[in-house]
Amino acid sequence: MRSSLLRLLRRSWYSRVQILSDLHLEVGQQYAAFTFPATAPYLLLAGDVGRLVDYDGYRAFLAAQTARYEAVLLVLGNHEFYGLSRAAGLDAARRLAADPALAPRLVLLHRARWNSPRSRLTVLGCTLWSDVAADRAALVQARVADFRKVTGGWTVAAHCAAHREDAAWLRAQVASLDGDGGDGGGSGSGSGSGGQRRVLVATHHAPCLQGTSLPEHEGGPLASAFATEMLVDGAGWAPVVRTWVFGHTHYSVDMVRGGVRVVANQRGYVFPPNPDAVEGHRPKRTTASGGFDPAKTVVA
């Protein structure tokens, strides 16, 4: 009885993931200054940690985390590419993932699957660039900073093409998990205790339009640059996918859509030396889940 309880507790602990996104450590070069408690064996960074062009600072931040966590799971956000082309940004991210000082604990989730070696947890990760509405494309191209700050001719058309590739990859992964019981493939491919995988999807852009951003931004002319409606009833994600973690909107939330728990824990822009000034020096606002919590965890 006691050994069974210990196994259950151990499995529960290794199904726990600490989730953070939109740290924006590029603001004031906070890569060394930002600290937070470790509350789970695994850390998921759901994009916009900072800019990969700040390579040394970004690497130092990741090194501090790989020293504390058994795995650090990194999804790339749009800001990761600022000051670089998308190809150069991907090259920089892959260089980080191959760095002997960070590997194998750093896992780059660029259309990648990671299996916990100690539990049934599986994480599927990609940026999931959004599907910009055709009638908003010109406005989004003109007003969203990505199309000025990502170099190399990054356009709405390229953004939408990347969305289609990310979405197709995710659907194929979920279909394979549904079909094989979830025991095959992936980085860190230990199957733990075997059986059905506990699947968490991690993306930077939001997987649904409603409830993922400040209410005044819902339905706005730029909404489709930040989110895509993926979680309609019958879309086929549940019951395979239990949890979906996202970022990008600077809005923290914990809700259920289409049978999937949808969670965001987003810091947003913080302007040192005043930690209470965010988003253009406005006071912090309470969000749907009570605001950013650097200790927040989810159990998939």
pLDDT of amino acid 192: 42
SS3 203: strand
Name the band, by pLDDT with cuts 50, 70 and 90, for residue 273. confident
pLDDT tens, position by position, 157-172: 999 999 999 999 999 9
Query: What does the pLDDT average to over 38-64?
Result: 99
Tell me the two tokens of residue 64. 């501090």
Per-residue pLDDT for 38 more than 60?
Answer: yes
> pTM score, two decimals?
0.92
pLDDT tens, position by position, 191-246: 444 458 999 999 999 999 999 999 999 999 999 999 999 998 778 999 999 999 99
pLDDT of amino acid 49: 99
Whether omega for the bond prior to residue 294 falls within 30 degrees of 0, making it cis, is no
pLDDT tens, position by position, 85-106: 999 999 999 999 999 999 999 9
Tell the burial category of 36 from Cβ atoms under 10 Å away from its Cβ (0-12, 13-18, 19+): middle
SS3 107: strand
Per-residue pLDDT for 293 more than 60?
Answer: yes
Q: How many domains does the chain have?
A: 1
pLDDT of amino acid 234: 74
Q: What is the domain range of residue 47?
A: 2-299
pLDDT of amino acid 221: 97
pLDDT of amino acid 288: 58
**CATH number of the domain where residue 95 is located:** 3.60.21
**How many CB atoms neighbour CB 195 within 10 A?**
11
The percentage of residues in the chain with a pLDDT greater than 90, rounded to a whole number, is 81
pLDDT of amino acid 183: 54
> Is 4 in contact with 28 (CB distance < 8 Å)?
no
- Phi and psi, residue 17, nearest 5°: -130, 130
- E-strand spans in the chain? 16-20, 42-46, 71-75, 106-108, 112-115, 121-126, 198-203, 241-246, 253-257, 260-264, 277-278, 282-283, 297-299
Whether omega for the bond prior to residue 207 falls within 30 degrees of 0, making it cis, is no
Query: What does the pLDDT average to over 16-45?
Result: 98
Per-residue pLDDT for 179 more than 60?
Answer: yes
Tell me the two tokens of residue 211. 């409830």
> Is 103 in contact with 93 (CB distance < 8 Å)?
no
Decide the pairing of beta strands 121-126 and 198-203: parallel
Tell me the two tokens of residue 71. 């795995």
Per-residue pLDDT for 134 more than 50?
Answer: yes
